[in-house]
Amino acid sequence: MTRASIALLAFAIIGNVLGCRSADELVKLTAIGRSHALREERNDARPASRRPGLLIIGVDGMKRDVLYGLLHEGALPGLASLLGGGAYGTLPHAYLSSALMAGLPSITIVGWASIFSGRPPAENGITGNEFFIREQRRLAAPIPGTFEDAEPKLATYTDDYADDLLMVPTLYERLRQDEPSIDVWVSVSQFHCGADRLLIAKRSAIVGKVYANARDTVTWRDFETYEERDQEVLNNVIGELADDDHRVPDVLTLYVTGTDSYAHVAAEGPDQALRRFATGNLDTAFGRLHDVLAQRGALTNRYVILVADHGHSPVPEDGSTLLSAPPRTVLEHAGFRVRPFTLDVADDADFQAVLAYEGPMAYVYVADRSTCVQPSTACDWSRPPRFDEDVLPIAEAYFQASRRGRDAPEMRGTLDMVLTRRPRPYAEDDLPFEVYVGGGRRVPIAAYLRTHPHPTWVAFESRLRELAVGRYGERAGDVLLIAKNGDGLGPAGRYYFNSAPQRSVHGSPSRQDAEVPLIVAHPAHSTDELRRLVGEVIGDGALVRQVTDLALHLRRH
C-alpha cells in the first residue's frame, strides 16, 4: 500500500468513526510502521481510575470443548499466563464457565453484535451476516452469504459498516455513560462505537482474516497465511501497549478472527484446525501480551474476559450439501420476482422476494405484491406482505420442495423446518414464528418439538424468540428456512445455504454450534470467587448477549 492510499484510508476511517453516536469521542488515525492506529492522547485530561481494568479477548469461532481441553492439557502457556495460570495446566485465578450459548443464528455478526451491545438481535437490529431492511429496500451484508464481495467485509473491520447497523448503544457507550473519562481501545472489531482508539492493520491483513467462503479463500488456504494476518494485528496491539508515552487503557478489546476463517477452509476439519491455530503463534502472542501488560503493572487489578461467538460443524468439502441456487429457483417457480444476489440494486429495482443466507438458516422476505403486480414495477416494501396471498404461497412452495422435490429436486429432504408468521408493520414488535406443516397449517414451536424432538438442539424456542420477536424482528424474514443439521448423520447429512462450498459451517440450533467458551480471570481472585461474581450475572443457559452485563458488573467490582 502506498503512503497516499494509507492517507486516504486514514481519512475515510476518521470520518466514519467520528460518525459514531458518542458525542465526546475524538479519534485520529496515525500511520505507525506497517500498521495503523486510531489514537488521540488525553493523559492530562484523564485521571487514572481505581476501578478494575478489563481485557476482553474475542476468539471467533472457538469451540468450548477444544479451548478448555487445550488449557487443561497445559497446551496454551501463553493464554494461561494471561489467565493467571499455575503449574501443569491449572488455573487457580480463572473460572471456565460451561453455561454460555450463542444466539440464533450462531454466526459471526449476530454473535458479536449481541456480545458488544447486551441486546438480542430483535432489539439490536442485526439479525444475520446479511439481512434485508424493508423500510430502506436495502440489503445489509457485513459478511455476505448469497454472493461474494470482499468490500463489505473490509468495511466491517475498518470502517463503521456494522456499527452503523447497530440500533442500540455498544458496551463502550454504556461504560462511558457511567464513566465519562474512561479510556477504551478496540482492536479490529466490527463494533467499536464509543471507543477512543481503533487499532487496525493493513487492508491486506484484514481482507485475509475476514470470514469468507471457500471460493473467496482459494489464495488464503495456507495455515501460515491466516496466522501471519492475525500476527500483524496482535503485533500492532502489543507495540502500542509497549509505548509508555501513554498509559494502558482501562478497557482493551482484542479480537482474533483467524481461528474462524481457517476453520472454514481447513482440510483437517474444524476441531483440528482450531487446535492448530490456538497452539501456534497465537498462543505465543498471548504470552507476549501478558509480558508487556505485566511490565507496565496493568494486570494487577484487571479482569480478563475471553469469549467466542459460535462453534463449528464440518460439512462435505465437495459441496454436496450446499444449497445456493435452489432456494431462488423455488421462489421463481412460485411466481415471485427475486432480488439479484448482489449488495446493491437500482432504487427502482423490481423484486417481490429477497433471500439472505445464514449458514444452516435462510431468511425469505416478501413484498405486498398488490403494490407491484406488473413487471418492472417497484414494490412498496414499507408495507407488510399479505399473509394469505404473499407469505403462505412461499411457505407452501418450500414445504413441497423439501418433501417432494417440487420445482427444485436438489432441495428434496434438505429442510428440517419451514417457519412462518403473520406479518406486522416494520415499526411494531413481531409475532413468534410457527412451524409450517403444509396446506396452510401452522403449529407452535413447543407443540411441534413435543412430537418431533430434536435432542441435539439447544433452547431453540427461546433463542428463536430473541432473534425474531421485537422491534427489528422482521429482519429475520417472513419465512425462515432451517436446513437439516444432521448431527446424528455426520457431515453428509448437514445442509447449509451459501454462495460457495465450505469445509465447516455454523449457524444451526445444534449444541455444537451453540456452545461457546466464557473465561473470567483476575490475579487477586480465586476460581470460587470468580464463579460467584459471574453467577451474579450469568446463570445456567445464558446467552452471549449477557457478556456486556458481565463486563459492566466486573468493572464495578
| pLDDT class of 486 with cuts at 50, 70, 90 | confident
Helices (H) and strands (E) in the chain, counts: 19, 23
DSSP for 185-251, please give it. Answer: EEES-S--TT-SEEEE--HHHHHHHS---TTTTGGG-SHHHHHHHHHHHHHHHHHHHH-TTSPPPSE
Which range has the top average pLDDT, 24-38, 140-154, 323-337?
A: 323-337
* Percent helix, percent strand, percent coil in the chain, to nearest 5: 40, 15, 45
Taking alpha carbons only, the member of 94, 75, 73 closest to residue 83 is 94
pLDDT tens track for 276-326: 999 999 999 999 999 999 999 999 999 999 999 999 999 998 999 999 999
Confidence (pLDDT) at 31: 34
Grid cell at residue 7:
492517507
Q: In CATH, which superfamily holds the domain spanning 3-126+166-313+516-555?
A: Alkaline Phosphatase, subunit A (3.40.720.10)
**Does the pLDDT of residue 214 top 60, yes or no?**
no
Confidence (pLDDT) at 6: 32
| pLDDT class of 489 with cuts at 50, 70, 90 | low
Report which of residues 490 and 166 the model is more confident about.
166
Provide the sign of the torsion angle of the four alpha carbons 273, 274, 275, 276, taken in this order.
positive
> 322 has which bridge partners?
496
pLDDT tens track for 102-144: 999 999 999 999 999 999 999 999 999 999 999 999 999 999 9
| pLDDT class of 90 with cuts at 50, 70, 90 | confident
What is the average pLDDT across 85-99?
87
Report yes or no: 132 and 479 within 8 Å, Cβ to Cβ. Answer: no
| pLDDT class of 232 with cuts at 50, 70, 90 | confident
Confidence (pLDDT) at 69: 97
CATH 3.40.720.10 domain range(s) in the chain: 3-126+166-313+516-555
Confidence (pLDDT) at 475: 98
Q: To the nearest whole percent, how much of the chain has pLDDT over 90?
A: 76
Average per-residue pLDDT for the chain = 88
| pLDDT class of 387 with cuts at 50, 70, 90 | very high
**Does the pLDDT of residue 480 top 70, yes or no?**
yes
Parallel/antiparallel/unpaired status of strands 542-543 and 100-101: parallel
What is the average pLDDT across 392-396?
98
**Does the pLDDT of residue 492 top 60, yes or no?**
yes
**Does the pLDDT of residue 24 top 60, yes or no?**
no
Confidence (pLDDT) at 221: 63
**Does the pLDDT of residue 12 top 70, yes or no?**
no
The pTM score is 0.91
> 114 has which bridge partners?
none
- The 3-state DSSP class for residue 128 equals coil
Packing angle, helices 171-178 and 546-555, rounded to 10: 30
What is the average pLDDT across 484-489?
76
Single-letter amino acid, residue 281:
N
Rg (CA), the chain: 23
Confidence (pLDDT) at 490: 83
| pLDDT class of 153 with cuts at 50, 70, 90 | confident
Q: To the nearest whole percent, how much of the chain has pLDDT over 70?
A: 86
Give ∠ CA 87-93-98 in degrees, rounded to 5. Answer: 100
Rounded-to-integer distance, Cα 539 and Cα 255, Å:
25
DSSP annotation of 247 reads P
